[in-house]
Structure 1
Amino acid sequence: MGKKVLMKGNEAVAEAAILAGCRHYFAYPITPQSELIEYMAKKMPLVDGTFLQAESEVAAINMVLGAAACGVRVMTSSSSPGISLKQEGISYIAASRLPAVIVNVTRGGPGLGNIAPMQCDYFQATRGGGHGDYYTPVLSPSTVQEFADMAPLAFEIAEKYLTPVMILGDGMLGQMMEPVEFPDAYPPQKDPSEWALGARRTPDDRHIINSLYIDPYVLQEKTETLFKVYEEIKKNEIRYETYNMDSDAKYLIVAHGTAARVAKSAVDALKEEGVELALIRPITLWPYPYDAVAEAAKGKEKVITIELSMGQMVEDVKLAVCGECPVEFIGKAGGVVFTPEEIVSLIREKIS
């Protein structure tokens, strides 16, 4: 590992992507991820890479599809309204079985909203987002270091399963500065002959990329194949973190990303008062760690979900707990971020 560098989250994930071998990046500016595109604009030419500010988010995601089809590591980034515009292209990429990385530095919504941090894109990210039957693996970082570490991980998952992968951050994580350490080496790109356009699978068979199947039985077969891949992702790629789980906690906190950072502080503060809380932080939002959340909730009097939204992940928590104990929700909207003191007070209300 190299020395630690103080960087914004937007810059750290960009640098990590470059170090991991990303040489093609297409995007359109939008706050609060503009530093990411600015960083790529400066750094890509220095590594003989391709940076292109597209005329729109729709154009950018289709450039990503084209580059992925050519067998190169490619990434795009945006924030909530921009990601909405990319959804049709993401669906095409998923159906075409192409690897690509998409970074969403989420801002307040719905509509144009504002540029403050929220977690209100959870449904969009974890339910496919675009048209048709498909899923996108989704990673949720909670520190700038983790934001950076997820860039090479996202490429690895994308190439292993031939799928677009989303890193779902937020405006706070993109803008905050923390020390980041980058490895001296990253795993190399997989051989693209498995997915690249025109690659020879056999001497007489060149790979064709397509997502249009007029025959419904053919489309059914293709979709079923896609869902077999999703089952493999569910078996192999679920990630989560537990905190204070060995305590005699009667209550379980579930939070991800920035909300989990603040929730940890609340767990520590209440512990000093003699109130034990366990915490589980989903790192993969899809596939969701249902079994891990269910196991963590066993024997608890109550589960409390904390989100920077009006309540989206709470639905997955309820599915995981499956009625075994009550599930309560604490949320903030509009881009307002909890303070540890606020969460402590709100948790006290829920467990009193």
Structure 2
Amino acid sequence: MAEKILMKGNEAIGEAAIHAGCQCFFGYPITPQTEVAAYMARKMPKIGRVFLQAESEVAAINMVYGAAGSGVRVLTSSSSPGISLKAEGISYIAGAELPCVIINIVRGGPGLGGIQPAQSDYLQATKGCGHGDYKMVVFAPASVQEMVDLVQEGFDVADMYRTPVMVMGDGMLGQMMEPVEFKERQGRQLPSKDWATTGLRGKREKHNVINSLFLKPEELEEHNRKLQAKYREIENNEVKYEMYNCEGEVDIVIAAYGITSRICKNAVKMLEKEGIKVGLIRPITLWPFPSKAFEEMCGKTKHGFISVELSEGQMIEDVALAVNGRAPIHFYGRSGGMVPTPAEIANKIKAIVGGAK
């Protein structure tokens, strides 16, 4: 059994990437994720790998494009305003079908906002933060250990589908310390990177070219249809979620992810003592979204669903699409870096279901 180490979330991200074989890190400091870059600055040169602090987020994401194009595993990290600056580059990476892992340790917004934890980048991440018809896999860890596991899995998923993968935590997960272990993973059987721009190696007779530019509309449409087929494959194979306390009939079902889901589990335990049974669906992939889990609970909940978020209500749109009018949907959220207590969530639910039973 691997030894457990007490680590800050941001630093655990860096170590997880190193364990996953990440060869290059390009980034730029921004609170509350700066420790990711600081950790990689200390560790990567010592093991013969590349760390580079770019002059901007725009430069960093284009360096990711170049390194990913050569076939190596590459990581970048930022926080909300920095991800906005990377958006064009992320679209280019998706269009060129290049694998990489992008970390977003979310802070409150809009604009410069604040440096406290938030989940208000949900729509940016899940609906394509750049231009064009593209998607990226979005993982939402709820603990430092899960952050470690999903960063490592993210590299495999990126290589499997030639796609950018985002691991989206929040400022609280990035800054908190928890014991973690770096387990020996059974990796997937991954395809070869015979598309990479590595010159005339082996029996290759011409150079590979990587691009996202298609000047003929019929060729661009064909490329888009190829991407959409890949996204359908990801939706079929890569959905992850947790169902907590969802056995039998429940009074209401909470939808929550990340750190908020941990707070909600305490609210569930509080309400159980008052005779109110509450289930919890925790999406681990925000895209692809676990719609079937919500469909399954539609006939088992008396008072529908409540989406609990560190935002003004962004995931609620996907919950509504999954439920498709078959049950009521409620919302409770805090924003700007404010974090709800279990008691606040419990009181909101009691108001919906009519108090203790």
Using the size of structure 2 for normalisation, the TM-score is: 0.95
* In 1, Cα distance between equivalents of 2:344 and 2:25: 40
- State the SS of the aligned residue for 1:168: strand
* In 1, Cα distance between equivalents of 2:329 and 2:275: 22
* In 2, Cα distance between equivalents of 1:102 and 1:303: 31
Aligned pairs for 1:5-84 within 5 A:
5-84=5-84
Shift of 1:248: 3.2
- What is the aligned partner in structure 1 of residue 163 from structure 2? 163
* In 2, Cα distance between equivalents of 1:112 and 1:276: 40
- What is the aligned partner in structure 2 of residue 307 from structure 1? 309
Which consecutive segments of 4 or more residues in structure 1 shift more than 3 A?
184-192, 198-206
* In 2, Cα distance between equivalents of 1:146 and 1:298: 31
- State the SS of the aligned residue for 2:131: coil
* In 2, Cα distance between equivalents of 1:14 and 1:272: 41
Shift of 1:190: 4.4
- What is the aligned partner in structure 2 of residue 216 from structure 1? 217
Query: CA 1:183–1:192 in 2, change beyond 3 Å: closer, same or farther?
Result: same
- What is the aligned partner in structure 2 of residue 194 from structure 1? 194
* In 2, Cα distance between equivalents of 1:226 and 1:108: 32
- State the SS of the aligned residue for 1:75: strand
Q: Deviations over 1:62-103 (max 9, x none)?
A: 000000001100000000000000000000000001000000
Shift of 1:194: 3.1
- What is the aligned partner in structure 2 of residue 119 from structure 1? 119
Q: Deviations over 1:93-115 (max 9, x none)?
A: 00001000000000000000000
1:81·1:112 contact (CA, 8 Å) conserved in 2? Answer: yes
| Equivalent in 324, 338, 341 of residue 339 of structure 1 | 341
- What is the aligned partner in structure 2 of residue 291 from structure 1? 292
* In 2, Cα distance between equivalents of 1:261 and 1:319: 24
- State the SS of the aligned residue for 1:135: coil
Deviates more, 1:232-241 or 1:339-348: 339-348
* In 2, Cα distance between equivalents of 1:152 and 1:195: 22
* In 1, Cα distance between equivalents of 2:263 and 2:210: 44
- State the SS of the aligned residue for 1:102: strand
Shift of 1:185: 5.2
- State the SS of the aligned residue for 1:26: strand
Shift of 1:238: 0.3
- What is the aligned partner in structure 2 of residue 2 from structure 1? 2
Shift of 1:192: 5.0
Residue 308 of structure 1 aligns to which amino acid in structure 2? L
* In 2, Cα distance between equivalents of 1:246 and 1:254: 15
Aligned pairs for 1:253-268 within 5 A:
253-268=254-269
2:28·2:53 contact (CA, 8 Å) conserved in 1? Answer: yes
Shift of 1:207: 2.4
Shift of 1:184: 3.7
Q: Deviations over 1:276-327 (max 9, x none)?
A: 0011100000010111111123231211110000000000000000000100
2:32·2:107 contact (CA, 8 Å) conserved in 1? Answer: yes
1:162·1:195 contact (CA, 8 Å) conserved in 2? Answer: no
Shift of 1:221: 0.4
- What is the aligned partner in structure 1 of residue 281 from structure 2? 280
| Equivalent in 313, 323, 326 of residue 324 of structure 1 | 326
Residue 2 of structure 2 aligns to which amino acid in structure 1? G
Shift of 1:251: 1.0
- What is the aligned partner in structure 1 of residue 353 from structure 2? 351
- What is the aligned partner in structure 1 of residue 236 from structure 2? 235
Deviates more, 1:240-249 or 1:164-173: 240-249
Extract unaligned runs of 5+ from structure 1: none
Residue 208 of structure 1 aligns to which amino acid in structure 2? V
- What is the aligned partner in structure 1 of residue 179 from structure 2? 179
Q: Deviations over 1:100-155 (max 9, x none)?
A: 00000000000000000000000000001100010010000000100111111000
* In 1, Cα distance between equivalents of 2:57 and 2:204: 38
2:28·2:54 contact (CA, 8 Å) conserved in 1? Answer: yes
Query: CA 1:216–1:162 in 2, change beyond 3 Å: closer, same or farther?
Result: same
- State the SS of the aligned residue for 1:193: coil
1:97·1:195 contact (CA, 8 Å) conserved in 2? Answer: no
- What is the aligned partner in structure 2 of residue 105 from structure 1? 105
Q: What's the Cα RMSD here?
A: 1.6
1:193·1:201 contact (CA, 8 Å) conserved in 2? Answer: no
* In 2, Cα distance between equivalents of 1:48 and 1:322: 52
Extract unaligned runs of 5+ from structure 2: none
Q: Deviations over 1:165-196 (max 9, x none)?
A: 00010000000111111114563894653331
Residue 207 of structure 1 aligns to which amino acid in structure 2? N
Residue 344 of structure 1 aligns to which amino acid in structure 2? A
1:20·1:187 contact (CA, 8 Å) conserved in 2? Answer: no
- State the SS of the aligned residue for 1:103: strand
2:250·2:300 contact (CA, 8 Å) conserved in 1? Answer: no
1:330·1:346 contact (CA, 8 Å) conserved in 2? Answer: yes
Deviates more, 1:205-214 or 1:153-162: 205-214
